[in-house]
Structure 1
Amino acid sequence: MRKHPFSEQKRAVRPCRLTGWGTFLPDRVVTFGGQTRYRIPDDGTQLDMLAAAAEQALGRAGLRADDVDCVIAACAAGVQPIPCTAALVMERIAPHARAAAFDVNSTCTSFITAVDIASRYLAAGDYERVLIVSGDVGSRFLDPGHRESFELFSDAAAAVVLTREALGDDEADTPGVLGSLQQTWPAHAHDTELRGGLSLHPAQSYADGDPSDYLFAMDGRRALLGMLAVLPDFFARFSDRVGIGLDEFDLIVPHQASRALGLAMRRIGISKNAYVDRVEEFGNMVSSSVPFMLATSLDERRIGPGDTIMLCGTAAGLTANALALRL
């Protein structure tokens, strides 16, 4: 049998420790049929949310902002095209820090990609303390005429601090990333998209262009069917790669994509009590969805030091993303 290109032996842990986390939710609450959503006020900004979550994470980690040597912004839609959102966050919270700043974007799973990248830098010794910030103001791009998406999304932000960790004598007790897998199926690239604002439809083209190009568009049914078709095999390969059965994780923290989350989990073979599902309370928080639920699970003591968790989700692209993390 031909070896699948993603089939590999289990890798060694990439040592790192989650030492701080923070979240931010706008005060404005709207409801749709009992589903709660959060929307930023007209005078609020994405940068305000990201900075607030970052400062909370740094405080919990016992660090000053200047102690960080790398800032990664993991957002689906950033503050502005140039400079990167990470640089703007750094300007706000640590203007005199000597740190790298860059953005990572795999839309809704950007945080998972950022943790994957940060763990590699930390394991290699390139950085000692990495701040990751995620958050979107999806409400600024929603089409009120498209009920499915308009009633789904919430604005929110979350941040974590990852620090370098020495590899212990017993690797089984060392916190860090145990493995990851990410794949994109571009046949579904246009199932969910926002076309306007950059080089395809620049801002100056708005007046003479199609206003719908500057609003979020989603074919929810096609995206869901595409996801359900690829996820069982993807998660089977992820489990093989990390050497952990799907039923062996202490908690699975998935992207809160939609009310179809339970259907997707059943299709993969994950039992209801094994994962976080709070779509009804918070909606789809885009890039902040996974870190927000991670932080909430830590605050509620559903998980803690020594636990092994899975961060996972799907995103526009169509992209699937999964990462095993020992706390």
Structure 2
Amino acid sequence: MRSCRISGWGTYLPDRVVTFESRSGTATRHRIADDVSQLDMLSAAAEDAIRRAGLTPDDVDCVIAACAAGVQPIPCTASLVMERVAPGARAAAFDVNSTCTSFITAVDIASRYLADGEYERILVVSGDVGSRFLDPEQRESYELFSDAAAAVVLERGTGEQGVLSSLQQTWPEHAHDTELRGGLSRYPAQDYADGDPADYRFDMHGRRALMGMLKVLPGFFDRFFERAGLGLDDVDLVVPHQASGALGIAMRRIGFPRDSYVDAVAEYGNMVSSSVPYTLAKCLEDGRLGPGDTVLLCGTAAGLTANALALRL
């Protein structure tokens, strides 16, 4: 076990709500206002997490931003968050990106730093503004995503708290099933005027991504549980990435019964990197999770990447 504990958490959910009708009913999505930025969301969630942890900003000694798409290419998003919320802290700041599962990757990395004694208090912040990259003509993605942010403060825990096991794997043959091509070195921003506007919007081949995910997930979770020495009965709650309305299909394929995991796709949709931490924070707030519980954080992401981490609270 890598000893660590969540001492505080914070969230930001935009007030603006849009609804879409689907075959399964009404889907609710949250989209930020024109005068709100991604950095505003991340900073608000971070400040909330630090306050709930009973710390001052200067107590933080590492800031990890775990977003699918950052605020700007340079500098790292973590440094911009730190500038807002902890400008006087003597802290490291860097970004981690495994797209939708970035938070899980960041917690995995943070737990190793804490276990090694490198840092004492690490702020992990996630959040994306997917709505600003969507193509209105691509209905399956345009009606799926919500904007949100979430953050946690991780501190070194007792012997009973921490990361029990983790596993991450990528299948690059599915790398182009979901992508945003423009904006960096492949299609630089200055080429936008003469390029294809579609390269600068999110592009998703939903069925191909789903079929790839369903193919690899059962074997991936078999390896995870074998490596962890755990069974599903040892997990109090599964908090998966709220990828799409096919969440239930994926969970059944893996073997998770309906009452073992959180499904909030209808209420919130896909919150990209904030999906897992936002759902986790809500479960901590409403008492669905508490001290001593074991939670499985998991999901898939562009790449195609699968990620799983068992955390004892």
Q: Scaled by the length of structure 1, what TM-score is found?
A: 0.94
| Residue number in structure 2 paired with 1:256 | 242
Q: Secondary structure at the match of 1:206?
A: helix
1:110 counterpart = 2:102? yes
Structural mapping, 1:1-327, within 5 Å:
13-33=1-21, 34-167=26-159, 174-327=160-313
**In structure 2, distance between residues paired with 1:287 and 1:143:** 19
**In structure 2, distance between residues paired with 1:101 and 1:138:** 23
Q: Secondary structure at the match of 2:233?
A: coil
**In structure 2, distance between residues paired with 1:42 and 1:299:** 29
Q: Deviation string for 1:128-169 (max 9, x for gaps)?
A: 0000000000000000000000000000000000001243xx
Contact 1:247 1:270 in 2 (8 A): no
Q: Deviation string for 1:66-117 (max 9, x for gaps)?
A: 1000000000000000000000000001111100000000000000000000
**In structure 2, distance between residues paired with 1:246 and 1:210:** 47
Q: Deviation string for 1:176-200 (max 9, x for gaps)?
A: 0001000000000000000000000
Q: Which amino acid aligns with 1:266?
A: R
**In structure 1, distance between residues paired with 2:158 and 2:295:** 20
Q: Which runs of 5+ in 2 are unaligned?
A: none
Contact 1:15 1:166 in 2 (8 A): yes
Q: Scaled by the length of structure 2, what TM-score is found?
A: 0.98
Q: Secondary structure at the match of 2:4?
A: strand
CA deviation after TM superposition for structure 1 residue 247, in Å: 3.2
Q: Secondary structure at the match of 2:232?
A: coil
**Cα RMSD (Å):** 0.6
**In structure 2, distance between residues paired with 1:166 and 1:151:** 43
**In structure 1, distance between residues paired with 2:81 and 2:234:** 37
**In structure 2, distance between residues paired with 1:72 and 1:247:** 32
Q: Which amino acid aligns with 2:225?
A: S
Deviation beyond 6 Å, 4+ runs, structure 1: none
**In structure 2, distance between residues paired with 1:273 and 1:122:** 33
CA deviation after TM superposition for structure 1 residue 298, in Å: 0.5
Q: Deviation string for 1:259-295 (max 9, x for gaps)?
A: 0000000000000000000000000000000000000
**In structure 1, distance between residues paired with 2:268 and 2:97:** 22
Q: Which amino acid aligns with 1:31?
A: T
CA deviation after TM superposition for structure 1 residue 246, in Å: 2.1
**In structure 2, distance between residues paired with 1:280 and 1:166:** 37
**In structure 2, distance between residues paired with 1:112 and 1:274:** 19
**In structure 1, distance between residues paired with 2:228 and 2:127:** 28
**In structure 2, distance between residues paired with 1:307 and 1:166:** 14
Q: Which amino acid aligns with 1:302?
A: R
Q: Which runs of 5+ in 1 are unaligned?
A: 1-12, 168-173
Q: Secondary structure at the match of 2:234?
A: coil
CA deviation after TM superposition for structure 1 residue 127, in Å: 0.2
Q: Secondary structure at the match of 2:256?
A: coil
| Residue number in structure 2 paired with 1:8 | none
Q: Secondary structure at the match of 2:287?
A: coil
Contact 1:76 1:286 in 2 (8 A): yes
**In structure 1, distance between residues paired with 2:57 and 2:227:** 36
Contact 1:307 1:326 in 2 (8 A): yes
Aligned residues: 309
